[in-house]
Amino acid sequence: MQVLYIYDLKHKNKKAFNRLKRLFYYHMNHLPIKKESWKSKSAFAVPFKMEKMMDSFFGRFGKDVVVYKTRVESIEQL
C-alpha cells in the first residue's frame, strides 16, 4: 500500500511564487524519497511507512501549498 500526494503551490505574485518554489523543491530534494517513490510533476507516491514524514514536510509550508492525499494499492498510467 502506498500514500499518493497531489500538491499545488499557491502564489500571491511572481516573486513570492518563485521563492516558495525554490524553498519547496530544495527541501523536497533532501528527503529520502528518491529511491522508494513514484513521482510526476505535481504528484508522488511513497510507501505507507513514510506518511508521517511527508505530512510534517507539507505542514512546514502551511497554507502556501495545497495538498491532497489518498491511500492506493497500485498506480496505472493512462
Pair 33, 50: CB distance under 8 Å: yes
pLDDT value of residue 37: 66
CA–CA gap between residue 17 and residue 45 (Å, rounded): 24
Number of domains in the chain: 1
In a domain, 36, yes or no: yes
pTM of the model: 0.81
Supply the range of the domain harboring residue 40: 2-72
In-domain check, residue 77 = no
What is the CATH classification number for the domain harbouring 46?
A: 3.30.70
Q: Consecutive sets of 10 residues in the chain, 78 residues long: mean pLDDT of each? A: 90 90 90 70 86 93 92 74
What does the alpha-carbon distance between residue 51 and residue 17 come to, in Å, rounded to a whole number? 26
Would 78 be classed as within a structural domain? no
Between the CA of residue 31 and those of 6, 12, 37, 42, 71, what are the distances in Å? 17, 26, 11, 16, 20
